[in-house]
Amino acid sequence: MNGSNGSEEKKLVDIYKRDTFWIYAFLIILLVLTVAAFYRNSTPEWKRYQADYKNLLEQNIGKDAAAEFTPEIKQVWLKDININKIDRCVSCHLGIDVRQLTGDDIPKVFRMHPNNELIKKHPIKTFGCTPCHGGKGYALTKEEAHFTDSKGWIDVFLSKELAKKYGFEDYEKMPLVEINCNSCHVHEKEVAGFAHINKAKKNFDEKLCTCCHNFYGKGGLVGPDLTYEGDKPADLYDFAGIKTWEGLAPSVFSWHFLHFKHPYFVTLNTLMPNLNLKDEEIRALAMLVLSYKRVPEQFKVKPPAANVKAAGE
């Protein structure tokens, strides 16, 4: 009997030691996670950027400029362009309109916008950043704000990296930004700096696209209305006919590229002809149709002359 009791007691002691070990291990892990969460919340990414920016101000402009800088979440309310949308890009991209912050010695994130004349015509306080560059304006981390192509064509950041993936030779110039810019310049035949969209508008006219497609109330009814094609969500596209993406990332942009290149395979029973275009022309046309979006009428640039009309008119 005594031997049996001793054995039972030893088992209980072993169980107690084992459970004590796991309880302490769990408490240590919980403590580490709590400290990590506290540190992450107390030093978010935007705060670290702003601390670096303040040091940069002191080094390049002076102590007074650094003293005037207030660390905080900074944002632009796009009340005229997109009601109830905000851009917090300026929480990290703090030197966009600061003339003293130019040159290769300034980190890109803090560098002044390379096109000062463009910024004068499109002030940050009105236009923000995402209406042209894309991305998630409300995000406060680089990973979330620079929404990548791996997650589709929704709030995607129109970066040079993305342009390179889609085969643009001039990807360093971030050509995909032309998509968003043309939404306001849609009624102009040619816009300075629109290397791809200008060619696409010319092809749009030469290929007589409005014989089948309606565009701003003019054209045929055989094909879909293209007036606001760029607003069409990804879930309304039929991807079933695409058997190979030809190395492209699956997205709405890729769908349009392949649709122009292989219309009969992408859309079964389509009447869309094969336009026999080069890949660079197809990329441009994909950009053009994705630029057909709703924007406030006051932001649509009117043609400089009466004889200059929107593509297809």
What digits encode the pLDDT tens for the residues 172-212? 999 999 999 999 999 998 888 899 999 999 999 999 999 99
Check residues 5 and 240 and name the one with the higher pLDDT: 240
Name the phi and psi angles at 38, rounded to 5. Answer: -65, -45
**DSSP designation for 190:** -
2: pLDDT strictly greater than 60 = no
- 105 pLDDT exceeds 90? yes
Structurally, at CATH architecture level, domain 163-299 sits in: Orthogonal Bundle (1.10)
Q: Residue 95 has what pLDDT?
A: 93
Say if residue 61's pLDDT is above 90: yes
Query: Could you tell me the pTM of the whole model?
Result: 0.80
- Rounded distance between C-alpha atoms, residue 313 and residue 311, angstroms: 6
Whole-number average pLDDT of the chain: 88
| % of the chain surpassing 70 pLDDT | 92
User: Any long-range contacts for 86-89 (C-beta under 8 Å, 24+ apart)?
Assistant: 86/128, 86/137, 86/138, 87/128, 87/129, 87/130, 87/137, 87/138, 88/46, 88/137, 88/138, 88/139, 88/140, 88/145, 89/128, 89/129, 89/130, 89/133, 89/135, 89/137, 89/145
Banded model confidence at residue 8, pLDDT cuts 50, 70, 90? confident
- pLDDT tops 60 at residue 141: yes
The token pair that represents 123 in the structure block:
């002030």
pLDDT for the residue numbered 81: 78
Write down the pLDDT at residue 163.
94
Segment 225-245 mean pLDDT: 91
Residues 130 and 89 sit within 8 Å (Cβ to Cβ): yes
Mean pLDDT over residues 64-71, rounded? 94
pLDDT at residue 313 greater than cutoff 60:
no
Query: CB neighbours of 161 closer than 8 A, spacing ≥ 6?
Result: 171
- Mean pLDDT, residues 262-272: 89
Please tell me the predicted confidence (pLDDT) of residue 3.
56
**Span of 36-40, 140-144, 178-182, 244-248 with lowest mean pLDDT:** 36-40
Place 307 in a pLDDT band, splitting at 50, 70 and 90.
very low
Give the mean model confidence (pLDDT) for residues 292-308. Answer: 75
Residue 244 has which token pair? 């190979």
Q: What is the model's pLDDT at position 308?
A: 43
Mean pLDDT of 99-112: 93
% residues pLDDT > 90 (the chain): 58
Q: What per-residue confidence (pLDDT) applies to 101?
A: 93
Q: Where in the chain does DSSP place strands (E)?
A: 76-77, 86-87, 214-215, 218-219
Q: What type of residue is 32?
A: V
Cα(203)–Cα(135) distance, integer angstroms: 29
Whether the pLDDT of residue 27 is over 60: the answer is yes
Band of pLDDT at residue 150, cut at 50, 70 and 90: low
Indicate the pLDDT class of residue 152, thresholds 50, 70 and 90.
Answer: low
Confidence at residue 253, expressed as pLDDT on a 0 to 100 scale = 94
On whether the CB atoms of residues 52 and 98 are closer than 8 A, the answer is no
Check: CB of residue 124 under 8 Å from CB of residue 135.
no
